[in-house]
Amino acid sequence: MKLAPPLIALALLTTAAPGQGKPAASTEAAYPGEWRQWRGPSRMGAVAEAAWPERLTEENVTRQWRIELGPSYSGPVVSNNLVFTTSTEDKEKEVVTAVDRRSGRVVWSTSWEGAMKVPFFANRNGSWIRSTPAFDGESLFVAGMLDVLVSLDAQTGKQNWRVDFTERFGSNRESFGFVCSPLVDGEAVYVQTGAGVIKLDKATGETIWRSMDEDGGMMGGAFSSPIRAKLAGQEHLLVQSRSALCGLVPETGEVLWSKKVKTFRGMNILTPVPYGDTVFTSAYGGRGHLFGVESSDGAVSASEKWTTRAQAYMSTPVLIDGHAYVYLRSKRLCCVDLASGDVKWTSSSIADEYWSMVANGDRFLALTESGELCLLRANTEEFDLIDQIEVADSETWAHLAIDGDQILIRELDGLSAFTWR
């Protein structure tokens, strides 16, 4: 089922094939280069840029280029001049590719042996690489499916270091692969693997601490990705295991608190969403929850503020003016009041299982699994779709990225760049 108003097919205006040699110097202003990690600058699916254009149409959205790549669920990340993406090729190796943002020219590509087959429902669309890389301005941190983390020089693709967590800790590989997207913060990188939650020195790959130790396997590791937040005056590393939401001390890995989250077969997928001194999450087979964090006499604790039947699946919500816009397991969008837990409205059924969303001011973009890009207004009274266009020919399970006036779409078999003016 398509969303109304009617779908506009976006013409393929230009497609730049990978060229030879150095591209001509551009007189255009440099891109901001802020979309460096999973879900953007703050990992909250939000940008604080100049106001977006009022409409999203074939008149003001232009395809700059498109290149074909191997399949991937991994979202693109950027520097000022490059976009980085991953792929799985020939079901045998994982590939990292750097592409010039203006021309679509492949600048470098590197690969390693490392593909795997995931079990059950997760293999329905293929066992492709899943984690979104992180970029710190110099290095790119890439998680491979077989519980490896690789640091690459972002300008050349040369390997800085590589860690195999199964070798380092003697843990079993995660049956569903290394799904967590690395978090770079200061001089450290944080990951969740089959071995638990791990903090590494980003310069060397050496372990700083390991917490919530696990042994991998079918129920080990995480589908979620960590996020930093300050709650009740205490810095937190928020993580979700397959069955719990937890707050850790970033410096030491100490678990401050842990709250069980009901799930079906450990499908606890959302990135935790901090809001003030609270955290929102929801899991497949469970409910939506808001947990409040408090500090008393030096002890930090969490308690449930409310719960709702609104059940998310894979799509982490965006927050706008005290409301969460949540894409549900039932393939509907809903608006949840974070103060009360009340569901303000729920849309009619939509065909897609997955949306990735990015907010700016009172509006947000949503990229649907079927390749449609939607512009919506944050409206607490009703579902408010402004425009939609088609931006991909194949499925788009990777997270949408937007940086300046450039929108980057990683569809299953390619990468496209669009300008939105």
pLDDT at 216: 62
For the residues 283-294, what does the mean pLDDT come to?
91
pLDDT at 208: 98
351-362 core/surface letters (b: 16 or more CB in 10 A; e: else): ebbbbbbbbbbe
For the residues 335-352, what does the mean pLDDT come to?
96
- Measuring CA to CA, which residue among 244, 288, 283 is closest to residue 264? 283
For the residues 405-421, what does the mean pLDDT come to?
97
Please tell me the distance from the alpha carbon of residue 402 to that of residue 380, in angstroms, as a whole number.
25
- Measuring CA to CA, which residue among 185, 182, 172, 251 is closest to residue 213? 172
Flag whether 363 is in a domain. Answer: yes
pLDDT in tens, 167-215: 999 988 888 889 999 999 999 999 999 889 999 999 999 999 999 987 6
| Cβ–Cβ < 8 Å for 278, 301 | no
Tokens describing residue 208: 């700083």
pLDDT in tens, 136-170: 999 999 999 999 999 999 999 999 999 999 999 99
Please tell me the distance from the alpha carbon of residue 27 to that of residue 418, in angstroms, as a whole number.
18
Whether 393 has a pLDDT exceeding 80, the answer reads yes
CB-neighbour burial class of residue 204 (10 A; exposed 0-12, middle 13-18, buried 19+): exposed
Whether 8 has a pLDDT exceeding 60, the answer reads no
Flag whether 27 is in a domain. Answer: no
3-state helix, strand, coil in the chain (%, to 5): 0, 45, 55
Q: Is 185 in a helix, a strand, or coil?
A: strand
Q: How many domains are there within the chain?
A: 1
Whether 241 has a pLDDT exceeding 60, the answer reads yes
pLDDT in tens, 33-57: 999 999 999 999 999 878 999 999 9
Rg of the chain taking only CA atoms, in angstroms? 20
- Measuring CA to CA, which residue among 12, 27, 99 is closest to residue 58? 12
Residue 303: band (very low, low, confident or very high) from pLDDT cuts 50, 70, 90: very high
pLDDT at 214: 76
Fill in the DSSP letter of residue 169.
H
pLDDT at 335: 98
Flag whether 23 is in a domain. Answer: no
Where residue 248 sits, what CATH number does that domain have? 2.130.10.10
Question: In 117-276, which ranges are E strands?
Answer: 134-135, 139-144, 148-153, 159-164, 183-185, 188-193, 196-201, 207-211, 227-231, 234-240, 244-248, 255-260, 273-275
Tokens describing residue 218: 């079918």
- What is the separation of C-alpha 256 from the centre of its chain, rounded to a whole number of angstroms? 25
Instruction: Find where tokens 């890389």 sit.
Output: 133
Question: What is the overall mean pLDDT for the chain?
Answer: 90
Please tell me the distance from the alpha carbon of residue 281 to that of residue 52, in angstroms, as a whole number.
28
Whether 346 has a pLDDT exceeding 70, the answer reads yes
Q: Is 61 in a helix, a strand, or coil?
A: strand
Please tell me the distance from the alpha carbon of residue 236 to that of residue 392, in angstroms, as a whole number.
38
Flag whether 2 is in a domain. Answer: no
Flag whether 1 is in a domain. Answer: no
Flag whether 372 is in a domain. Answer: yes
Query: Residues 6 or more apart from 202 whose CB is under 8 A from it?
Result: 136, 139, 141, 151, 184, 187, 188, 189
Flag whether 21 is in a domain. Answer: no
pLDDT at 116: 72
Whether 397 has a pLDDT exceeding 60, the answer reads yes
pLDDT at 219: 63
Please tell me the distance from the alpha carbon of residue 47 to that of residue 130, in angstroms, as a whole number.
23
Flag whether 239 is in a domain. Answer: yes
pLDDT, greater one: 195 or 278? 278
Tokens describing residue 261: 């989250």
- Measuring CA to CA, which residue among 78, 106, 110 is closest to residue 94? 110
Indicate if the alpha-carbon torsion angle 33, 37, 42, 48 is positive or negative: positive
Residue range(s) defining the domain that contains residue 154: 8-16+32-420
Supply the pTM of this predicted model. Answer: 0.92
Please tell me the distance from the alpha carbon of residue 293 to that of residue 76, in angstroms, as a whole number.
33
Torsion region of 58: left, alpha or beta (phi above 0 gives left; psi -120 to 50 gives alpha): alpha
